[in-house]
Chain A
Amino acid sequence: MAKFKGYVEVDTDRCKGCDLCVVACPTDVLELEPREVNDRGYHYVYMKNEDDCIGCANCGYVCPDGCLTIYKVKVG
């Protein structure tokens, strides 16, 4: 089976830390920043395990604020 690698770019200023992308991720890649906040005081999301991302874009589909940009490449 082909393997894919992905990367999620986060618009941290737009993110409201709603946690929906974290729940939607099948490979447990995302996490809300435990300490840092953005200008509006939200704990924005970041990639905890970059290596596990498969670029499925589930996080992007459920994001209400359109702050995630997802890239995907085929490897092997």
Chain B
Amino acid sequence: MDKNQIIRPENLVHAKPELMNNNHMHYCPGCSHGVVHKLVAEVIKELGLQEKTIGIAPVGCAVFAYNYIDIDWQEAAHGRAPALATAVKRLLPDKMVFTYQGDGDLAAIGTAETIHAANRGEDIAIIFINNGIYGMTGGQMAPTTLKNMKTSTSPEGRNTQTMGNPLKILDLLALLDGVCLATRVSVHSAAAVKKTKRMIRLAFENSLAGKGTSIVEVVSTCNAGWKMTPAAANDWMVENMFPVYPIGDLKNI
């Protein structure tokens, strides 16, 4: 069969999401952020929320998220995305408000804001990218860094005697009464991507329905920070990250 017979609009099965613009993304090749951006753009389009969504961009690698998805955005100070989202959602309660944060933003400097926003049960969705490292600033150790994992500030590996243990912040958040959805997903395979899309959709629906705070943790790779190829980083994540951060729902009501 000739390729011109296949390339027809009625045969289209997958394309770049309409809400994602043509700006060249600054992420490293193979970065999980790109996949999650695509899913966010697809879900917002499918729910018809382009004019009703306000995203809160974090500080970290995803600081330029507002350049790539054509919706309304606000840029928060480092770690303060849930506090800003609280304000936006309370002032404009008919909007769908979500934050997009990394582990350095959500689990380190923004721990207080995150936990208190979740405890108040603010009707926001939090998309939490956990790659166990500070990717943007050069691969420093984050609270979520695994035991014995080598980073630029723990070159001998993370010593849990002196540097603490990996922070499972989703487990903490799931305990709070204000949280309606706490789930851990990943984007390393086509099946995992489809599951993640369903969970992001559920989180956004919860925000609109006023059910409480929804947190979707995406266990991700930082192949540049981990100093691996993208494919090897995915394998490393399955082998080492998943035992510490197991995939699945912690809470879904």
Cross-chain contact of A57 among B3, B13, B189, B229 (Cβ < 8 A): B13
Name B22's closest neighbour in chain A (CB-CB).
A14
Chain B's closest residue to A17 (CB) is B29
Q: Are A71 and B230 in contact (CB under 8 A)?
A: no
Chain A residue with the shortest CB-CB distance to B229: A19
Instruction: Say whether B47 faces chain A, with CB atoms less than 8 Å apart.
Output: no
Given contacts A67-B16, A69-B16, A73-B6, contact A19 B230 (CB under 8 A): yes
Q: Give Cα A40–Cα B15 distance, bound, in whole angstroms.
A: 22
The chain A residue sitting closest to B196, CB to CB, is A61
How far is A72 from B14 in the complex, measured between Cα atoms in Å? 9
| Contact call A72/B193, Cβ cutoff below 8 A | no
CB distance from B9 to the nearest CB of A (A): 9
Q: Is B187 an interface residue (CB 8 A)?
A: yes
> Of the candidates B16, B30, B187, B188, which one forms a contact with A18 in the assembled complex, judged by CB atoms under 8 Å apart?
B30
| Chain A neighbourhood of B12, CB < 8 A | 69-71
Contact partners of B49 in chain A: CB under 8 A: none
Contacts of A5 in B (CB 8 A): 1, 6
Is there an interface contact between A23 and B8, defined as CB atoms closer than 8 Å? no
Q: Given that A19-B231, A20-B231 are contacting pairs, would A64 and B31 also be in contact in the complex, using a CB cutoff of 8 Å?
A: yes
CB-defined contacts of A14 to chain B, threshold 8 Å: 22, 24
Do B190 and A62 touch across chains, with their CB atoms under 8 A apart? Answer: yes
Contact A58 B190 (CB under 8 A): yes
Count of interface residues, chain B, beta-carbon cutoff 8 Å = 37
Asked if A18 and B13 make an inter-chain contact with CB atoms under 8 angstroms apart, the answer reads no
* A contact residues around B214 at 8 Å (CB): none
- Please state if B34 and A61 are interface contacts (CB–CB under 8 Å): no
User: Is the C-beta of B38 less than 8 angstroms from some C-beta in chain A?
Assistant: yes
- CB pair A55 B31 closer than 8 Å: no
| Distance between A19 CB and nearest chain B CB, rounded to angstroms | 6
- Cβ–Cβ contact B194 & A61, under 8 A: yes
Question: Which of A55, A69, A72, A75 is in CB contact (< 8 Å) with B15?
Answer: A69
A residues 31-65 in Cβ contact with B at 8 Å: 40, 42, 50, 55-58, 60-65
Query: In the complex, which of the residues A9, A19, A66 has the most CB atoms of chain B within 10 Å of its own CB atom?
Result: A66
Give chain A residues whose Cβ lies under 8 Å from the Cβ of B234: 20, 23
Among B24, B34, B231, the residue within 8 A (CB) of A64 is B34
Instruction: Say whether B7 faces chain A, with CB atoms less than 8 Å apart.
Output: yes
Q: Interface code B171-209, partner A: CB below 8 Å = 1, 0 otherwise?
A: 000000000000000011110011000000000000000
Cβ-closest 3 pairs across A and B: A64-B34, A18-B30, A66-B16
- Starting from the known contacts A16-B29, A72-B13, 16 additional A-B residue pairs (CB-CB under 8 Å) come to A5-B6, A6-B6, A16-B28, A19-B229, A24-B190, A58-B189, A58-B190, A61-B190, A62-B188, A63-B34, A63-B38, A64-B27, A64-B29, A65-B25, A65-B34, A73-B6
